[in-house]
A and B are shown apart, each in its own frame.
Chain A
Amino acid sequence: MPSEETKERIIRAVDFGRTVLHYGWIPFIIYVGYTRSNPQPSLIKLMSPLA
């Protein structure tokens, strides 16, 4: 059984990971898609609903 201190640290790390995932997941997909797409799209076409 891990000590209280380790538990506290794990909980904080999980919370931090969740925040990173929350704000970073969509930008991560867009980054992966943008860099690996063939042909590479322009950024304005990527973001705007009208372009």
Chain B
Amino acid sequence: MAAFPPEKLSLDPAFPSSPSSSRGRLGALSDAYNRFSSWRSTLGLSNPGSVENLQKEVKNTHLTNFFFDGARADLMKGLSMDPAFQVTHSFSLASQTLPPTYSFGAVFANQQMFLQGNIDNEGNLSGRLNHGWTPTSVTKVQSQLSSTPGHSMIQVEHDHQGADYSVNGKAINPSLTDGAGIYIGSYLQSVTRNLAVGVETLYQRSPVDSEISTSYLAKLTGTDKNWIATAHFQPIGVLQATYWHKLSEKVDAAADLQVIAAPARRDAIATLGAKWDLRMSTFRAQLDSTGKVSALLEQRFAPTFSFTVSGEIDHFKNAAKVGVGVMIESSSLTPEEMGMVPPPL
């Protein structure tokens, strides 16, 4: 009992100082943070681009994403320029792998919103909605709806691009009742002016079990941005390495190496491709280690009419594919409204 008063006394002078000391600690913390962020900004790092777009240049140079076979016609109709609104009727037939289809698409876009929908003759709908809260922070919803049960998919995603980093969070088919689904988080950070490193974590959850896997990313950019090398490594034994080089104003070349060294399967595929951008046409050529040689030519005859030819020869399987396509753009707008002709002074 007798020990209380002196202790209280000794505490008392500390009491008024304790809020200021906690403020001091917070102040020191925010000071340290401010110093850290100002030091970070003096490094002059630029945004590394999103994880999704890590291999964008390579994918744009290679023709894998552009290739088609059979015959195709796209009738595009621009109805408004600002906000952008267009509808598309696409017909495709005589493909070796796909049945003939007709699909109707509509796109609407203004400064913040992007709405897109596409429906085919079997009633399968694919839709996309992007909403930009600020220019660097975008929420995206993608969905595929089909009348066949089990084929529907929805993906909700938020993308944030900071001054020197990018963060992205995704949920694929999240269930509201038991939390099942696939969740993906990724982070990419510029470390020097040329190098960016990142991680991507995938969390797959079902009512019975859950699984986490993490993969690692690296992106090396040339100082004058004319070449990019990327690597994506998954610890289960999958490595994808790409290299893209802008050889001149009109020529891009890209290489892609995919190595699978899992215990169950060992495989590697290398792809080499080039793209030429000419005045009225684009030509892509590609060669890969599975023996496929392919080429695609997009020729624009008029601003509203373009013609596409594609071909692929599989030397190992002795098979070939050919595709022809036309794209016609029509517009209900006058040239002045489209902004193609400068308005008279």
Q: Which residues of A contact B (CB under 8 A)?
A: 2, 7, 10-11, 14, 18, 21-22, 25-26, 28-30, 32-34, 36-39, 41-42, 45-47, 49
A10, A26, A42: the one within 8 Å of B106 (CB): A26
CB-CB under 8 A from B176, the residues of chain A are 10, 14
Count B-side interface residues using an 8 Å CB cutoff. 30
CB-CB under 8 A from A26, the residues of chain B are 104, 106, 117, 119, 125
* Residue pair A36, B110 in contact (C-beta under 8 Å): yes
Q: How far is the CA of A21 from the CA of B117 in the complex (A)?
A: 11
Q: Which residues of B contact A (CB under 8 A)?
A: 75, 77, 79-80, 82-83, 85, 87, 89, 104, 106-108, 110, 115-117, 119, 123, 125, 127, 143, 145, 147, 152, 176-177, 332-333, 337
* Residue pair B85, A33 in contact (C-beta under 8 Å): yes
CB-CB under 8 A from A28, the residues of chain B are 115
* Residue pair B80, A49 in contact (C-beta under 8 Å): no
How far apart are B213's CB and chain A's nearest CB, in angstroms?
27
* Residue pair B87, A46 in contact (C-beta under 8 Å): yes
Q: How far is the CA of A30 from the CA of B107 in the complex (A)?
A: 8
CB-CB under 8 A from A2, the residues of chain B are 177
* Residue pair B152, A18 in contact (C-beta under 8 Å): yes
CB-CB under 8 A from B147, the residues of chain A are 22
